[in-house]
Amino acid sequence: MQSPITVVVIDGHTLTRYGLFRLVSADTGITVVGECGLASEAPALVASSRPDVVVLDVALPDADGLQLARELRDRHAELGIVVLTAQAEDDVLFRALETGVSAFVHKTAPNTEVLGAIRHAAVAAASFTATGLAHALARRAQVAAEPVGFPAGGMLLSPREFEVLSLLATGLSVPAIAGTMFVSLSTAKTYVSRVYEKLGAANRASAIMTAMRLGLIKPELSVMA
């Protein structure tokens, strides 16, 4: 029999933590092994309980939840991280994408979506999923007032760079891209930097949006639940 997915819940609202505990407890394949309400308590709790997945709020009483997510990702590469939010802004979603979390879920989402995000994070910690991301990327691309400038010849991606762009669009982290392409981490970082440079992008979200505008990738192929 397969062991249940272990979860730590980090949320400043007692009722939310209780609700998540009740939701998860109803699923025999998932179990809560710890919970806390402050970011300052989270690192020690995660280190001691060693969960498969952490579910945390974007807005914690004592810190930015996405900053905590970044710290947890840096310390625990294999940890699944699900971010819950009451903020529907696209910018929050893009920040989560850049932070390296596994899933981004609105607090009003159906129970099945929350549980699905936890299961995704448990088996694919390095891959990002979020309902509506493709639409958010399309909205961001539509409001871009000016065309992006490119270095001379910069729009020409090599086959290897196009492969990296495609993997970035699926939500894979840079270490996961390195593993998929069977190259070193430093080589993968070099490819990513070249893609950003040629697309005139500063980060993953910007690169994906630009690639969509140029027709290099299709919206339905970019990161989405």
The range of the structural domain enclosing residue 73 comes to 5-129
Terminal Cα distance for the chain, rounded:
28
- pLDDT confidence tier of residue 88, bands split at 50, 70 and 90: low
Tell me which of 149 and 94 has the higher pLDDT.
Answer: 94
pLDDT at residue 5, as a whole number: 95
Q: What is the mean pLDDT of residues 73-93?
A: 87
What does the pLDDT average to over 50-72?
A: 94
CB 8 within 8 A of CB 49: yes
Mean pLDDT value across the chain: 84
Taking 50 as the threshold, does the pLDDT of residue 224 lie above it? no
Q: Which phi and psi angles does 141 have, rounded to 5°?
A: -65, -35
Residues 90 and 71 grouped into a single domain: yes
> Which of 129, 161, 186 delimits the end of a domain?
129
Side-chain-facing half-sphere of 210: CA atoms under 13 Å? 22
Verify that 11 and 104 share a domain, yes or no.
Answer: yes
Top pLDDT among 3 and 150 is at: 3
Percent of the chain clearing pLDDT 90 (strictly above): 40
Angle subtended at Cα 29 by Cα 34 and Cα 15, rounded to the nearest 5 degrees: 40
| Of residues 47 and 152, more confidently modeled | 47
Q: Binning pLDDT at 50, 70 and 90, where does residue 149 land?
A: very low
Query: Does residue 20 sit in helix, strand or coil?
Result: helix
> What is the pLDDT at residue 52?
97
Q: Are 125 and 35 contained in the same domain?
A: yes
CB 98 within 8 A of CB 110: no
Among 129, 158, 188, the domain-final residue is 129
pLDDT beyond 50 at 153: no
Q: 60 - beta bridge partners? A: 63
Report, as an integer, the average pLDDT of 111-118. Answer: 94
* 117 and 142 co-located in one domain: no
Which pairs count as long-range contacts for 184-192, CB under 8 Å and 24+ apart, including other chains? 188/164, 191/160, 191/161, 191/164, 192/164, 192/168
Specify which residues 34 forms β-bridges with: 8
b/e 98-109 (16+ beta carbons within 10 angstroms → b): ebbbbbbbbbeb
Per-residue confidence band for 222, with pLDDT thresholds at 50, 70 and 90: low
